[in-house]
Amino acid sequence: MADGRSNIALIVAAGSGSRAGGDVPKQFRRIGGEALLAHSVDAFAGHPKIDGIVLVIGEGQEDAVRAALGARPCPPLVTGGVTRRDSVRAGLEYLAAQGAPSAVLIHDAARPFVSSHVIDGLLAALQSHEGAFPALPVADTLVRFEAVMGDTVPRDHLYRVQTPQAFHFEAVLAAHRSWPEARDATDDAQMVRDTGHSVTIIPGDIMLEKITHPEDFRRAEALLASQPMISRTGMGFDVHRLVAGEELWLCGVLVPHSHGLSGHSDADVAIHALVDAILGALAEGDIGSHFPPSDPQWRGARSDRFLAFAVERVRARGGLIDQVDLTIICEAPKIGPHRDAMRARLAAIMELPLDQVSVKATTTERLGLAGRKEGIAAQAVATLRLPPANVA
């Protein structure tokens, strides 16, 4: 993970969230059907320039984290401290012990909606600065108030600071290690700047507003629902040869048959077509461009990993999958007896309701490769929605 050249997301989720109300810490409460923590993990996990994630959590929160993430792979967990600064320091020291990345993006789980363009902007800013953070200009009138109303405060050059905040790793680690224990720090950017490094800002995002109080959850739900979305459709097609002595995997289900499909991975032709359909809707190439068959690490790999990656790419761009429709083309085996299991498996991998996943089968009337029982083909269509800002 941390090899001196990587970009790591450090998500701080160790708070109790007492001001947000409810009987669970706010990072585990749900917005849009997902825990706040899961939204942040999805954004970073699906970004192609983020090489890993570390979660800083409260003591004893391991089970709550795994429940919040559902079927997602659980990143490394680090127990935080009493204060946010203590928690960030714990995460940084963990990364240092693992070998230290080149850059770290420190993010509060209370800001669940991280867009890919914010991550891109932060990483670009690190080309010329030691640190960067997103910020929004102050729009409201500001006044001083001490028992009675005082003077207004000029808004020029005033910004509301957001996270994630990105830094050259060695700079932010040194800032934390040298910071006086008795001195307060509002955030990591202040610490890095005050230790002599260059820190800049990039345009913030209204979707990055922090969730602190009970009414913030209602506002976030409304904001999420009000976001304009653009519908995108992608189509995928794949074919693999049937050979003796191989297992037959279709839609992530092992199907009993005399022959299996030949390929570099597990040759799940149905999932391969579906991955291409999703990547096509995103305009992000095809399965071969992300998982080239020339790479030995994918030899024999389970194709559900490829599908999970494609779904993460949708989430990283703030998108939603509305529907997938898959057609398997073969003379044998019969797909009908396995159709329900296939739909259920695909729905589980993509974390979609079952009624958004369609699996069908047809034949070629004994024509062509499939008709001669030499192979199986599949075609898929995926319909999804993306925010306009994240449409390629």
- 50 in helix, strand or coil? coil
Do 240 and 160 share a structural domain?
Answer: no
Do 366 and 306 share a structural domain?
Answer: yes
Residue 2: inside a domain: no
State the pLDDT at residue 300: 76
DSSP string for 116-170: HHHHHHHHHHTTT-SEEEEEEE--S-EEEEESEEEEEE--TT-EEE-S-EEEEHH
In this prediction the pTM is 0.63
Do 291 and 142 share a structural domain?
Answer: no
Do 163 and 258 share a structural domain?
Answer: no
- Domain extent, residue 172, equals 7-226
Do 209 and 80 share a structural domain?
Answer: yes
Residue 382: inside a domain: yes
Do 357 and 236 share a structural domain?
Answer: yes
Domain count, the chain: 2
Do 304 and 222 share a structural domain?
Answer: no
State the pLDDT at residue 328: 96
The residue assigned the tokens 């320091």 is: 89
Which of 195, 226, 257 is the C-terminal boundary of a domain? 226
Q: How far is CA 229 from CA 45, 305, 319, 321, in A?
A: 22, 27, 8, 12
Do 380 and 300 share a structural domain?
Answer: yes
State the pLDDT at residue 214: 84
Which of 181, 201, 226 is the C-terminal boundary of a domain? 226
Looking at residue 194, its amino acid is D
**Selection from 268, 274, 234, 321 nearest residue 42 by Cα:** 321
State the pLDDT at residue 21: 46
Do 166 and 47 share a structural domain?
Answer: yes
- 191: tokens are 């610490």
- 33 in helix, strand or coil? coil
Residue 1: inside a domain: no
The residue assigned the tokens 């075609």 is: 379
Residue 340: inside a domain: yes
Find out whether 55 and 65 touch, Cβ atoms under 8 Å. Answer: yes
Residue 109: inside a domain: yes
- 302: tokens are 């389970």
285: CATH: 3.30.1330.50
Of all residues in the chain, what percent are helix, strand and coil, respectively (each to 5)? 35, 25, 35
Cα–Cα distance, 56 to 54 (Å, whole number):
7
24: CATH: 3.90.550.10
State the pLDDT at residue 22: 53
Do 145 and 120 share a structural domain?
Answer: yes
Averages of pLDDT over runs of 10 residues in the chain (392 residues) are 78 71 76 85 90 95 91 91 94 95 96 91 97 88 67 75 96 96 88 95 90 84 75 95 91 93 89 96 91 81 91 83 95 93 94 93 91 93 82 58
What length is written for the chain?
Answer: 392
Do 241 and 163 share a structural domain?
Answer: no
Do 239 and 208 share a structural domain?
Answer: no
Cα–Cα distance, 129 to 295 (Å, whole number):
35
Which of 180, 196, 226 is the C-terminal boundary of a domain? 226
Residue 329: inside a domain: yes
Residue 379: inside a domain: yes
Residue 103: inside a domain: yes
Cα–Cα distance, 299 to 318 (Å, whole number):
31
Using DSSP bridges, classify how beta strands 199-203 and 165-168 pair: parallel, antiparallel or unpaired. Answer: unpaired
State the pLDDT at residue 149: 58
